[in-house]
Chains A and B, each alone.
Chain A
Amino acid sequence: MSINERMRVVCAGADGCHDRRLAGSTEAPPSEVRWKRLGVAGDVPPHGMKAFSLDGLTVLVVDLGNELVAVQSLCPHEAIPLELGVVEGPTLTCLEHMWQFDVRSGAPLGEATEGLQTFSLRNVDGDLYVAVE
């Protein structure tokens, strides 16, 4: 089994470049992407979330049941750690002012006026890697 087949890729970036690369596209990716090890997938509680720190960057990994996704760890409203909030299905709620987001896309919901940055995430044999440029 090739490394590509072993990888479970969740790509939430707007450009989709990672998808094209894995599908065998001959297009070169627009920029150099490095995958950095974030931590252990098993540390993310089932249907829960966990923040991981990496070189000064903190990323929130959310378990949606059938996949893991990664988003920015602080609420864009008042920089409250989203790990303190509630995730139900794909909806993440920050309890400070009840801003809500769809963690699959980062899109703001309801009263939120700003969304979440998303990160490409890969799970390779239980280790989580995030794409950083």
Chain B
Amino acid sequence: MRVTLRTRIGAWEIESLPGEKILRAALRQGVELPYECATGTCGTCKARLTAGRAESAWPDAPGGRHCGAGELLTCQSVALDDCALEVDHLRPAEAGTPRPATLKGTLRHPCRLTHDVISFDVELESRLVFAAGQFVLIEAPQIDGARAYSIAGFGRDGAQLTLLAKRKPGGRFGEWLFGRGVEGAPLTVFGPLGRAVFDRTIRKNLLCLAGGTGIAGMVSILRRAAAEGHFARFDAHLFFGVRAEWDAFYLEELTAIRRRHPRRISITVALSNEEVPRSLIDAYPELNFGRGLVHEVASPHMQGRFSDLRAYVAGPRPMVDASVRLLLREGRLPAQEIRRDRFD
């Protein structure tokens, strides 16, 4: 189908394949329609249908509350005929990030990290080039809809990605991942996506605020920063929030990251629901521990350290909003230095 995309300043024509979401068709052809979560929850991708027919594959998507009559979410909608859509403006991707594409992959090495967090690898048909902090959309057989996962790690020069997933009550994808027989399952991957990225031109200290599986992108960012020699001149502060000790994971990986630059990188694990057990402190001497929500634990530590800062925030929505408040009010960070991933 031919889809015409209009903004205030111009129009572009793209092709969309049968059943292909309009947002993905646009992004892979270089037309940077606005988006944030790309999975139907945030409403950022809202567009007005001005000609032809398109329909949402998920009419009940939460982001649809932002849509009025004649409007739809491009991340969920498919062109039924040639059609035309209007958005206010395009949103250029971060400079240097590659154009996303669809790839086939195979699920490998599912590994439970906690009672509700699982890590798994995606072996891709070809390597994916991506910027640290970006995410991909994953689709699995028999499960409707894509899920977004930040890339936590990679192997084989980008032909294998490591992702982290949380099992949520009633969540079909998480239930499937935690079940039997997922090793070897075919997956469809679309990406890379997202603007919460690190690149070597950033000349600032880094602050990473992560809740739960939001740690995935932060691990990529800190490893990439270390590899690029960022810590010769700059510092990083990571605050990783989980509810209790039995929810914690990746502590060995975080220790390894800190070991590379112990004077430059500080990593604090925040437990929101219980006092920090002595055994945890003793087991991980290179990590700090604190009691409270991520932003509560970060605030005293970051006093006087907010200048020349690039901040990354990822996690559940209330955690992200509370962290962004801290950054805007106490930190007085400009909005463009706050990069966030919100999963709902």
For the complex, give the distance between the alpha carbons of A86 and B321 in Å.
Answer: 10
Given contacts A93-B335, A97-B44, contact A86 B36 (CB under 8 A): no
- B335–A88 CB distance below 8 A: no
**Residue B111 at the A interface, CB < 8 A?**
no
- B66–A78 CB distance below 8 A: yes
- A86–B335 CB distance below 8 A: no
Q: Which residue of A lies closest to B67 (CB)?
A: A78
| B contact residues around A109 at 8 Å (CB) | 335
**Residue A100 at the B interface, CB < 8 A?**
yes
For chain A, give the interface size range. 10 to 19
**Residue B260 at the A interface, CB < 8 A?**
no
Stretch from B53-61, B283-291, B323-331 at the A interface? B323-331
| B contact residues around A96 at 8 Å (CB) | 43
Q: Which residue of A lies closest to B338 (CB)?
A: A98
- B328–A93 CB distance below 8 A: yes
- B89–A86 CB distance below 8 A: no
Question: Which residues of chain A (84-133) have a CB below 8 Å from chain B?
Answer: 86, 88-89, 91, 93, 95-98, 100, 109-111, 113
| A contact residues around B324 at 8 Å (CB) | 86, 93, 95, 98
- B321–A95 CB distance below 8 A: yes
Q: Which residue of B lies closest to A109 (CB)?
A: B335
| B contact residues around A88 at 8 Å (CB) | 328-329, 332
Interface size on B, residues (CB 8 A): 19
- B338–A86 CB distance below 8 A: no
| A contact residues around B88 at 8 Å (CB) | 113
- A100–B335 CB distance below 8 A: yes
**Residue B336 at the A interface, CB < 8 A?**
yes
CB distance from A16 to the nearest CB of B (A): 30
Q: Which residue of A lies closest to B46 (CB)?
A: A78
Contact string, B8-42, partner A, CB cutoff 8 A, digits 1/0? 00000000000000000000000000001000001
| B contact residues around A110 at 8 Å (CB) | 334-336
| B contact residues around A78 at 8 Å (CB) | 43, 46, 66
Q: Which residue of B lies closest to A100 (CB)?
A: B335
| B contact residues around A113 at 8 Å (CB) | 88-89
Q: Please give 19 more A-B residue pairs, beta carbons under 8 A apart, in addition to A86-B324, A89-B332, A110-B334.
A: A78-B43, A86-B325, A86-B328, A86-B329, A88-B328, A88-B332, A93-B324, A93-B328, A95-B324, A95-B325, A96-B43, A97-B36, A98-B324, A98-B340, A109-B335, A110-B336, A111-B335, A113-B88, A113-B89
**A/B interface sample: 28 pairs, CB < 8 A:** A78-B43, A78-B46, A78-B66, A86-B324, A86-B328, A86-B329, A88-B328, A88-B329, A88-B332, A89-B332, A91-B328, A93-B324, A93-B328, A93-B335, A95-B321, A95-B324, A95-B325, A96-B43, A97-B36, A97-B44, A98-B324, A98-B338, A98-B340, A109-B335, A110-B335, A110-B336, A113-B88, A113-B89
**What is A's interface to B at a CB cutoff of 8 Å?**
78, 86, 88-89, 91, 93, 95-98, 100, 109-111, 113
**What is B's interface to A at a CB cutoff of 8 Å?**
36, 42-44, 46, 66, 88-89, 321, 324-325, 328-329, 332, 334-336, 338, 340
